[in-house]
Amino acid sequence: MTDADDQLPQTLDEARAESTRLTDLIVGARDAYYGRDAEIVDDQTYDGWMRRLEALERTFPEVQGQDSPTLSVGAAQGSMFAPVEHAERMLSLDNVFSTDELAEWCAKTQSAAGRAVRWLLELKIDGLAISLRYEHGVLVSAATRGDGRVGEDVTVNAAQVTGIPSRLAGSGHPPLVEVRGEVYIPVAAFDELNALQARLRERVIAGGLARGGGDEEKLTRSAARRFPAFANPRNAASGGLRQQLDKKNGMELEAGKARLASLRLLVHGIGAWPSPPVASQSEVYGVLAEWGLPTSPSFRTSDDIDGVSAFVGYYGEHRHDVEHEIDGVVVKVDDLALHDELGATSRAPRWAIAYKYPPEQVNTTLLDIVVSVGRTGRVTPFAVMAPARVAGSVVRQATLHNQEVVVAKGVLIGDTVVLRKAGDVIPEVLGPVVELRDGTERAFVMPTHCPECGALLAPAKEGDIDVRCPNTRACPAQVRGRVEHIGSRGALDIEALGEVTAAALTQPSVPAEPPLRTEAGLFELTLDELVPIEVVVRDAETGEPKLDDETGEPVKRAPFRRNPTTAEKKEGLTGPQPSAQALTLLEELEKAKTKELWRFLVALSIRHVGPVAARALAQWFGSIAAIRAAVRDELAAVEGVGGIIADSLIEWFAVDWHREIVERWERAGARMEIPGHPGPGAAVAAGGVLEGLTVVATGTLEGYTREGAQEAIIAAGGKAASSVSKKTDFVAAGPGAGSKLAKAEDLGVRIIDAAQFKILVEQGPAALDALAPDAG
Nearest CA to 527 among 567, 581, 484? 581
Query: 461 an active-site residue?
Result: no
Nearer to DNA, 433 or 612 (CB): 612
Binding region for DNA (CB under 7 A) out of 250-258, 437-445, 735-743, 764-772 = 735-743
Tell me which of 393, 565, 574, 705 binds DNA, using CB under 7 A: 393
Question: What is the CA angle 615-620-623, rounded to 5?
Answer: 80
Binding region for DNA (CB under 7 A) out of 282-290, 326-334, 446-454, 642-650 = 642-650
Residue 738 interacts with DNA (CB under 7 A): yes or no: yes
The helix or strand, by DSSP H or E, that contains position 418, with its residue range, turns out to be strand 416-422
Least Cβ distance, residue 741 to DNA (angstroms): 8
Which amino acid is it at 148? Answer: G
Q: How far is CA 540 from the centre of its chain?
A: 20
Beta strand 750-752 pairing with 730-733: parallel
Binding region for DNA (CB under 7 A) out of 184-192, 222-230, 555-563, 638-646 = 638-646
Q: How many residues does the chain have?
A: 776
DSSP β-bridge partners for residue 385: 366
Residue 249 interacts with DNA (CB under 7 A): yes or no: no
Calculate the alpha carbon distances from 635 to 362, 649, 663 in Å: 50, 8, 21
Binders of DNA in range 445-474 (CB under 7 A)? 464-466
SS3 363: strand
Q: What is the DSSP letter of 558?
A: -
Residue 599 interacts with DNA (CB under 7 A): yes or no: no
CA distance 641 to 434: 47
Tell me which of 727, 735, 745, 767 binds DNA, using CB under 7 A: 727
Residue 731 interacts with DNA (CB under 7 A): yes or no: no
Binding region for DNA (CB under 7 A) out of 61-69, 296-304, 397-405, 515-523 = 397-405
Nearest CA to 178 among 143, 147, 127? 143
Q: Contact 414/433 with Cβ under 8 angstroms?
A: no
Residue 486 interacts with DNA (CB under 7 A): yes or no: no
Binders of DNA in range 662-701 (CB under 7 A)? 694, 698-699
Residues that contact DNA, how many (by CB under 7 A): 64
Residue 410 interacts with DNA (CB under 7 A): yes or no: no
The helix or strand, by DSSP H or E, that contains position 125, with its residue range, turns out to be strand 119-125
Nearer to DNA, 102 or 391 (CB): 391
Binding region for DNA (CB under 7 A) out of 199-207, 250-258, 517-525, 609-617 = 609-617
Tell me which of 221, 396, 671, 677 binds DNA, using CB under 7 A: 396
Residue 705 interacts with DNA (CB under 7 A): yes or no: no
Least Cβ distance, residue 378 to DNA (angstroms): 4
Nearer to DNA, 411 or 614 (CB): 614
SS3 682: coil
Residue 140 interacts with DNA (CB under 7 A): yes or no: no
Residue 708 interacts with DNA (CB under 7 A): yes or no: no
Nearest CA to 26 among 194, 148, 165, 120? 148
Residue 431 interacts with DNA (CB under 7 A): yes or no: no
Nearer to DNA, 219 or 383 (CB): 383
* Angle, helix 305-317 to helix 99-113, in steps of 10 degrees: 150
Q: What is the DSSP letter of 94?
A: -
Least Cβ distance, residue 726 to DNA (angstroms): 5
Q: Euclidean distance between the first and final Cα of the chain, in Å? A: 68
Residue 612 interacts with DNA (CB under 7 A): yes or no: yes
Nearest CA to 755 among 719, 706, 704? 704
Tell me which of 127, 410, 427, 622 binds DNA, using CB under 7 A: 427
Question: What is the CA angle 607-611-616, rounded to 5?
Answer: 95
User: Within 13 Å of residue 632, how many CA atoms lie on the same side as its CB?
Assistant: 7
Q: Contact 92/347 with Cβ under 8 angstroms?
A: yes
Residue 345 interacts with DNA (CB under 7 A): yes or no: no
Nearer to DNA, 699 or 717 (CB): 699
Tell me which of 170, 545, 643, 703 binds DNA, using CB under 7 A: 643
Tell me which of 723, 766, 767, 770 binds DNA, using CB under 7 A: 723
Number of Cβ atoms within 10 Å of the Cβ of 140: 13
Least Cβ distance, residue 553 to DNA (angstroms): 29
Residue 619 interacts with DNA (CB under 7 A): yes or no: no
Residue 111 interacts with DNA (CB under 7 A): yes or no: no
Residue 127 interacts with DNA (CB under 7 A): yes or no: no
673-676 contacts: CB < 8 A, separation 24 or more?
A: 673/597, 673/622, 673/623, 673/624, 673/625, 674/596, 674/597, 674/618, 674/619, 674/622, 674/623
Tell me which of 740, 751, 752, 756 binds DNA, using CB under 7 A: 740
Nearer to DNA, 298 or 507 (CB): 507
Tell me which of 166, 345, 705, 725 binds DNA, using CB under 7 A: 725
CA distance 628 to 635: 10
Binders of DNA in range 358-387 (CB under 7 A)? 372-378, 380, 382-383
Q: What is the DSSP letter of 436?
A: G
Number of Cβ atoms within 10 Å of the Cβ of 313: 12
CA distance 459 to 464: 6
Q: Contact 502/477 with Cβ under 8 angstroms?
A: no
Q: Is the peptide bond before 515 cis (omega within 30 degrees of 0)?
A: no
Residue of 108, 124, 248, 461 marked active site:
124
Residue 244 interacts with DNA (CB under 7 A): yes or no: no
Residue 565 interacts with DNA (CB under 7 A): yes or no: no
Positions marked active-site: 124
* Binding interface with DNA (CB under 7 A): 372-378, 380, 382-383, 392-399, 401-402, 404-405, 422-423, 425-427, 464-466, 481, 607-614, 639-646, 694, 698-699, 719, 721-728, 736-740
